[in-house]
Amino acid sequence: MNTITRRQAFGIAIGAATAVGLTACDKAGSGAASASASPNAKASGPALSIPAGGIDEVFEGRRIQITLDPGAHHDGQHMPGMPTIKIDGKELHLMRNADNSWVTVVNHYETFADPISAAKAAVRDLQGANLIPFTPKGEAL
């Protein structure tokens, strides 16, 4: 006999409903994730909005200095085009994601549209604590 049982029909219905639900979640989640990560990012890499002389400001009592040096060195590595961020004179390690958003070691699980907002978020999260410079594994301070 080639008839389908109620148990098999129920299993097929549950599987189809799950597939439709996961597809809807994926479509809704992908748009929100890309919009929140970097609203101004472009695939080709946006020009950074850092003036030629850099940024030197006080934010919540902490001095933030951001410079864009074409021959910048970060942690002993040559990283051309990467901004250098210092909070109270100590370098904040900054990383660029593939979608042109930015993260720091202080806010490693939160992305930012530009280095300026990443630096300000790091200052807020430090809550007055001193920034300990990032050193790659195996290097001493």
71-96 average pLDDT score: 75
The residue whose two tokens read 């301070």 is 141
Q: Which residues of 18-39 are buried (b: 16+ CB within 10 A; e: fewer)?
A: eeeeeeeeeeeeeeeeeeebbe
Separation of alpha carbons 41 and 108, rounded Å: 19
* 26-68 pLDDT, tens digit each: 666 555 444 444 444 433 445 566 777 788 889 899 999 988 8
Residue 107 above 50 pLDDT?
Answer: yes
The confidence score (pLDDT) of residue 33 equals: 45
Tell me the chain's radius of gyration from C-alpha atoms.
Answer: 23
Q: Whole-angstrom Cα distance, residue 74 to residue 84?
A: 8
Mean per-residue pLDDT, 81-108: 88
pLDDT of 80: 64
